[in-house]
Chains A and B, each alone.
Chain A
Amino acid sequence: MLGLSTPSGFIKVSKLVSPWLWTACVLLIGAGLYFALFVSPADYQQGQTVRIMYIHVPSAWLGMFGYSVMALASAAGLVWKNPLADLVAKASAPIGASFTFLCLATGSLWGKPMWGTWWAWDARLTSMLILLFLYFGYIALQNAFDDPGRGARAAAILALAGFVNVPVIKFSVDWWKTLHQPASLMKMSGPALHPSMLTPLLLMVSGFTCFFVAVLIVRVRTEILAAKIRALRLSEIHAAQGSGVAG
């Protein structure tokens, strides 16, 4: 696929795509913020706090999207033993974890004025918290081995095992009718939001997604370069040792 599956091909393609992604990200988030903060109306019940939604929902989406990317890349890495897939999985974990944390933090800020509490042991909140800990476990397992390849493969198996949580989060609000409101965006009957709120929300979601992909590319590129530096250093050491023995 466009020579994307090798590290050098990835660097080539990413150099072409990156500037466009960053531009799209800035434009989308800029427009989204404008619509969210100035054009869209305040909610008749929630007042101005409804605007937290424009950060909260994209973060939640990326928290789950990041885990899905990680699990898919892990599966690809395990099946095809593709080094790039391992790097993508590794790179998406901290970004996804950050967005999951952002989702929980904004949700907490939103919950205080709306539900009267910073935190509730509601099904969706709890499953999102578990997702955060799954990310932590993944990152910790990855760094626990002296051989980075072994860490990547062990973590990949964990990522796949933890993937069961993602559909549980998505459907938690439908299965257990607790404090968190049910799905209003991705429904069979179409979104339940008024267009004036839907427009900025979709702009923000796509802007955040562009941001995620752009940061992911930066991280993967850094990992590739770091691996190259490591290999160069190793070969230098070997060369020095080789000449030492010969001399």
Chain B
Amino acid sequence: MKRLIEIIRRDLRLALRQGSDSVMVVTFFVLTVILFPFGIGPEANILERVSPGVLWVTALLASMLSLDRLFQADYEDGSLELLALTPTALEILVIGKVAAHWLTTGLPLMIAAPVLAVLLHMNGDGFVALLVTMLLGTPTLSLIGAMGAALVLGARRGGVLLSLLVLPLYIPVLIFGVGAIDSAVQGLDYSAQLLLLGGILLAALPLAPLAAAAALRQALE
């Protein structure tokens, strides 16, 4: 546990000192969302209708932006091998990295989302659902993404390949995230979608670090 916190602190410190990563992710999120009113016109009722989908799809793409840096920098300068040599299990390392990734991308996205929802004229009933689905969904994105990032270490054209691997696996999160907000906007009960999102998160929590750690071992062989 102490080692886990150490890894999270190290990654957070790196992210803070090198700056820009989370700022860039949020800027991308805001800019892409702002493109939609230009693309499909500023009518409030259309924007309101598409707002859950737009927010979720762009959040998904934004959280993918910083994924290829997750292990790549450590892999290139050799610190990943040193981390692998410590008695800490690689799975713990992955969980720490995922936690740091979520704190630097998922959390800022979650904070920015309600502001953008206002810009898209989202119905007030949807805000709680938006925040809760993001809280349950974005950690899953980071977990699945970490697996993809570990798999493409050392591959040619890793960045593009990563999106090809990870996006199909993101679709369930997208479906239930948007589904919950849609139900909430219509005043319906959305606990079923939240339970499913939570279930996906609970399944990904042990499985994705296992897969990612296996992939890291392959990369370090």
- The residues of A with any CB-CB pair to B shorter than 8 Å are 78, 126, 130, 133-134, 136-137, 140-141, 144-146, 150, 153-154, 157-158, 160-162, 165
Chain B residues lying within 8 Å of A162, measured Cβ to Cβ, are 168-169
B156 with A144: CB separation less than 8 A: yes
CB distance from B80 to the nearest CB of A (A): 15
B164 with A136: CB separation less than 8 A: yes
CA–CA, A140 to B166, complex, Å?
12
CB distance from B37 to the nearest CB of A (A): 24
Give the number of A-B contacts (CB < 8 Å): 59
21 A-B Cβ contacts within 8 A? A126-B171, A133-B164, A134-B168, A137-B164, A137-B165, A137-B168, A140-B161, A144-B152, A144-B161, A145-B154, A145-B155, A145-B156, A150-B154, A150-B221, A154-B152, A154-B215, A157-B147, A157-B214, A157-B215, A157-B218, A165-B168
CA–CA, A170 to B152, complex, Å?
29
CA–CA, A142 to B11, complex, Å?
30
CB distance from A146 to the nearest CB of B (A): 8
B218 with A154: CB separation less than 8 A: yes
A141 with B168: CB separation less than 8 A: no
User: Among residues 169 to 193 in chain B, which have CB atoms less than 8 Å away from a CB atom of chain A?
Assistant: 169, 171
The main secondary structure of chain A at its interface with chain B is helix
CA–CA, A126 to B155, complex, Å?
29
CB distance from B104 to the nearest CB of A (A): 24
Size of B's binding interface in residues, CB under 8 A: 23
Chain A residues lying within 8 Å of B167, measured Cβ to Cβ, are 133
Chain B residues lying within 8 Å of A145, measured Cβ to Cβ, are 154-156
Chain B residues lying within 8 Å of A137, measured Cβ to Cβ, are 161, 164-165, 168
CA–CA, A57 to B151, complex, Å?
33
B215 with A141: CB separation less than 8 A: no
B155, B165, B218 — most chain A CB neighbours (10 Å):
B165
Complex partner residue of B161 from A133, A141, A165, CB under 8 angstroms: A141
Contact status of A153 and B218, CB under 8 A, knowing A141-B152, A158-B151? yes
B155 with A158: CB separation less than 8 A: no
B147, B151, B167, B208 — most chain A CB neighbours (10 Å):
B151
CA–CA, A158 to B211, complex, Å?
8
Chain A residues lying within 8 Å of B17, measured Cβ to Cβ, are none
Residue B2 at the A interface, CB < 8 A? no
A133 with B168: CB separation less than 8 A: yes
A150 with B218: CB separation less than 8 A: yes
Chain A residues lying within 8 Å of B207, measured Cβ to Cβ, are 161
Contact status of A144 and B168, CB under 8 A, knowing A153-B218, A157-B214, A158-B151? no
Complex partner residue of B168 from A130, A146, A150, A157, CB under 8 angstroms: A130
A78 with B214: CB separation less than 8 A: yes
Contact with A along B139-168 (1 / 0, CB 8 A): 000000001000110111110010011011
Top 8 closest pairs, chain A to chain B, by CB: A144-B155, A133-B168, A137-B165, A153-B218, A154-B151, A137-B164, A130-B168, A157-B215
CA–CA, A150 to B215, complex, Å?
10
B167, B168, B211, B214 — most chain A CB neighbours (10 Å):
B168
CB distance from B155 to the nearest CB of A (A): 4
CB distance from A195 to the nearest CB of B (A): 38
User: Among residues 200 to 215 in chain B, which have CB atoms less than 8 Å away from a CB atom of chain A?
Assistant: 207-208, 211, 214-215
A160 with B218: CB separation less than 8 A: no
CA–CA, A140 to B164, complex, Å?
8
CA–CA, A144 to B152, complex, Å?
8
CA–CA, A30 to B208, complex, Å?
46
B147, B214, B215, B218 — most chain A CB neighbours (10 Å):
B218
CB distance from A237 to the nearest CB of B (A): 23
